[in-house]
Structure formats: C-alpha cells, structure tokens
Structure 1
C-alpha cells in the first residue's frame, strides 16, 4: 500500500487543484472531440460531396488550425489564459451546432475552417496556464498527465465516434458540441485567470528598434527554433502512423482490421503505461531523454522496412510508442522553460505550429517516397529520426545555458519588482509619519 501511495505521489502529487480542473477540461474536450474525425465521411455519405471536395474541406479545417494556434498564443498573452480558453470553447460549441445543421457545402467549408481556428486556439493557452500554475520542479509530471489525459480522451472518442456515426451524424456533431461547452463551463467555473500570476516584467531579447517583445521574438529565437525544428521531426515520425503506415500495410496485404489493431495497441500502451514514465526519466537530462526517445521512434519506424506481416508491425508499434511516451514530458517542459514569462502563449503557439505542418509534410512527401522507394521509405524515416536524436544531444547544452540565463534574468526582475514595491511602501510610511506627528502635536 505504501508503495502505491509513493508511486502516486511521484506521479501526480504536489499539483495544485486548479491544474486538475484544467486536466479535466482537456479530458472532457478530447473525449468529445470526435466529429471532425468523421468529417470526410460525413461530407461524402450525408452531403454527397466528391472525395476531392471532401479533402479540400478537411484541408480548410487544417489551415484554420495553423491560424488558430498563432491567434491563441497571442490572445493568451494579451487577453488571458482563462478568457482565451472559455471564449474558444464557447465559439467552438456554437460552430459545431451550426455545422450539424448546415446543408450547403460552401457554408460547411467555411464553418470547418472556423472550427479549425477555434479548435487550435486552446492549445497554447492550456500549456501556458499549466506553466503559470505548476512549480518548475513539478512540471514534468504535470505535462506527463496532460499527455495521458489527451490520449485517454482520444481513446474514449474513438470508441464513441463509431457508435454515434452509425446512429446519426447529427448526434455526432451535437454530442461533440455538448462536450465542448462542458469544457467551457468547467474552466469558467473552476479555473481562475493565471496570467496575472506571472507578475515579473517581460524578460526576453529586445527586438530591433526597441519594440516591445512579441510573436516576432519567438520567430527569431534561434535556440528555440532549433528545438521547434527537432519537435517537427518528431511530429513527422508520429504522423507516419495515421498517414503512410495504412498504405504500407495495405501493400503488405493487411486490411483495416490489422491497422486498427496496431493503432489500438499504441493507444493502450499510452493509457496503461504513461503514468509510470516520470519514475523512468526523473533525474536524467532532458536532452538525453529526448535523444533516446527519438532514437526509439526511429528504430520502430525503420523496422517497417523489414515488415512482411502483422507481427512486425505490432512489435514496431511497441518500440515507437514507448519512444513517444518518453518524449512527451521533457518536450513540453523544454518548450515551457525556453519561453519568457510574458511571452509564454506566443512561444507555445509557434511550438504548436509543428503539428499542422507535420500533418501536411508527412503525407505529401511520404506518399511520394513510399510510391517510388517502397520499403526504402522507412529507412529514410529511421535515418531522419536518428539524425534528430544526435541533434538533441548537440543542442542540449546551449539550450540549458539559455534556460539558466532566462531563470537568472527572471529572478533578477522579480527581485527588482519586490524592491520597488518595498521602497514605495517605505516611502509612504515615512510620508505619513510626520503628518501623524503633526496631528498629535496640534491635539496636545
């Protein structure tokens, strides 16, 4: 019993109550976010769209997502984390209802693009709020739990979506809208604004001409962009499972049920095993953990060059899933560490751009590669992953020096702010004392 309590304390202990409300919001949101998974099927089966038109509408949703992550990051820093989260979820719920009731394909395409925007806006705000709330020494476990909630919610969504889609597409969209609105209610009710907790003055590199640091700061931060580029490679590897691997399995004579089994195995491993990751990686350098995790993913996908049956795919899925599980906490923590407090939302938005970018690059280049190189495609994917693993080891030391410098600057700014407040109170006291003495003298 004590061992179980110790494990739980190491995995989820010491986190503020507000974090758990954010965590619940993420879980509810992901568990109900299934309608867009069936958007192409809805368009072709229920609205009579061609496959090409359905693909264009789904692409509009993805394009909206790229806009949404940038908008969400800017609003999270300027407007507030809570305000951004509540507004995005409320608008998303309304748009899902409108999408369920729309009949014209042009209107559906426009609504899909807008849904893409508001679906992507909460990502930077969620992470920025977690960084605001959770002390640095506990952020790794917080991000691990966030990743677990995301995948647990997706697993639930996958189970519910198929049932609802067969029953009614209208129910699919309306239940999605209800889950989105429920998330907005939880956040509005239980999550206070966290932006004000970052009370230190803006700390970061000054922009040219002395302009106030903003999105441009993140887009010109070379150390941060190097990390983003390595995360992009990780995202490209991850996207292989949903874009290129189904085609490769079909070429190997394996049907949809086999593909579903491989995907389900990965999801089950994450749901069952992610909570044990903190004990495995605590005490290890983040760049070493990321190098090892990326190498595991490279080996897993590279092994598909030898695949000739379902067993190889299943074993490879275990390898790359373990890699993705190990990568999640340090990846999120480094992203948080590199962001100046006043620019957390903006840095998160640039970081989140890697995912829509990877969702475009992975199928576009991967399809050509698989067509012309066959099994050689997986050797290229594996080599790319191993190069990224080595790059993590090279980029780690300067990245840690930047983080240490940022911490020193933040601590110094906090000390100056505290000193200024203290001096102001002292001055007020000295100003008040003579007046009080004068009043006492007059009274006597």
Structure 2
C-alpha cells in the first residue's frame, strides 16, 4: 500500500514509518525539515511541508493522490514561535479530512486522552476537535490514544524523565505520586501496522496494564541508566511555577521545553487512559527499558539535557554583558584601538562591536536564530583572538586574561552547537 505519514521525522512518526516500510509498504514521510531523516531512512520517500500552512482542502489534493492510508503522527504541545496548535492540530487536519473524502483513504490519528479537567487546554482541545471530526466524517479510521510513550530514543516528557533520573544526589520531583501509564513506541507502530492490515478500527486506548507513580518511573529510569538509588525529594507544586513560567517564555521564543505549563498541568492529573473495551495490550515500562539497554550515550544525554538551557542562557548573558558594559564607558573601552586609528574611528568601532555582541546575545535566545547566532559567536571570537594576537599580543599575558577568557567561551559555544538539535 501507499502510505503517507504526517510528522514522520518525530519520535513516534519515525518508528511508525520504519515499521510500515519493513512491512513492505511504500511509505512517504512528511516533515518540516526532513533532510536528516532522508539520510537516516533512505527507504522512505520524503516531502517537506509545514502543516500550519496546509489549512485548505486543496493544499492536500496532490499529496493524497494515490495514497491508501494516511497516518497522522504530527502534533505540538503548546503555542509558541515554532508551533501553532490550532493550525497544526485542527485546521490542517480538518482540511485533510475534507480532501480525503474524494479518495477515502484509511486515516490513522495518533491522539491522546482529551477528556478530564485538563481537556480544555489548547493541546487537548485541538486534538479533541480533530478526533470528533474524524469520527463524524464517515472515513475509514482508527483513533489511537497512547499513554506516555517510551522508546530507545527520547523526546519531550520521556527526555525529562531521563534527565531527572540522572540528577545527582537526589530526585527532586513535583507531583511525585501522580499515576503514570506507559507503553513502548513499538506498541504504537504495531497498532498502526494492524490497522493498515485491516484488523483494527475505531477508537482504541494504548497503555500497559500497570500503575506506576512518577517517582516509580523515574527510579526505573535511574536503574536503567546504571546509577545507584537516591532519595526522592517531593517538592510542592508551587516551587515549579517559576520554572514553568520560564519554560513558557522559552516556548514563545521557539524552544519546546517539556516543563511548559501544559505538560505540568497534565502531569498534575497523571498520565492515565480510561480503560475501555478494545484496549490493546502494551509493553510495561520495565520491559520496554529492558529491551533497550542503555549505553553511555544515554547517560550523557540525561546529564546534558537540563544543562542545555543553562548553557544557552549563560552564553546569552556573556555576550549581552560583553556588549552592554563597554557601552557605559565607550571612551575607556576604545583605548585598545587608539594606537591603530583616530579616536573617533576607535569609538565608532567599539560601539559597532558592542552592538554585534548584544545582537548575538539576544539572537541565541530565539530558537530559529540560535544556530546562526552560535556560528556568529564562533566567528567573532576567532576574529577577536586573531586580531588581538596580531595587533596586541601582550594581551595574552594581561593579568585579567581578556584573550584567555575567550577560549572557554568558544568551548561552551561548541557544546551548545553540539546539543542544539531537538530530534
């Protein structure tokens, strides 16, 4: 069969795509940035598209031509610079359903539990509207409602659980006793495979038949990472509010933190799925982790995950202060240029370099600009070292170390570049 997968570059979508390709189907993956996925999964055809711009039925006509199945693995947690929930999870998907009525492919919708007190959150409300439209469309369909999905890779909530599990000396948790149900990402792929084979339709819950607390799940991941047990420190929920607020601000700048308010609200209720007839068996958390033994790369990832935002913020502060402080005393800051140019030119050059530093320090906080800002930081740092070495080599011996201090900044910038990718 010809199968189109939306969000095929994501955590769930990439596994589903690999499984369906292994089943012998002709799979086409849709993603915003599929270049790297094309290198990793060359057996799959890849198309670049942004769902938030595909909100009319005619936007889907060409993509749906010849497709027998469409699997929607796309989604976003919260509105921000990088995501538009209404456009991505509702408008685009309703347009897809309207266009699909001509050829009537099977639609597989990867959804979530949309009922309950958190159901009014935009993340769940937009999912629910798409689910209801699909159920009423008359199209052949399957709506899958998985619990917290675990796998060899990690993304979002599962990344945060790994990071918390690697926390030194203790496990600081809010909502430590919240119930969490899980399953393996391979269980999701299996359900989709069964649907494509014609053996599964309707509205299906996916969760392992076990009840863990968040603390249990984090301890299990700590054991998986090969770290000794430590005490869980249950934190009051109000202590997490400043972190959640900062994560929401980061979301407005394009960063997709799992500590945003939507995720924390859902976690306060627990990640549970109402048991229903037709619920499929799923793999327990312990079995999922045991089937994928951790390596040192997993430990590195877990330890670096919470350091990454600190690295970005630290670099931003360093460059902003490097630009702002000299602007307070431009005449004094320009003294290094005076042996090589007139005073007016030295002052102008000082102001220009300060503005560049400020621009880079601000730009690195904006996710779509972060990579270019980091590369700019490297270029300016290397130019500064080269210029200082050629024009005033004595600065290497200066007690305040103006040139020596650039070296750790370069290393921190390289670390930020190495950990910048989200998936």
TM-score normalised over the length of structure 2: 0.25
Q: Going by fraction, where is strand more abundant, 1 or 2?
A: 2
Structure scoring higher RCO (CA < 8 A, sep ≥ 6) equals: 1
Q: Going by fraction, where is helix more abundant, 1 or 2?
A: 1
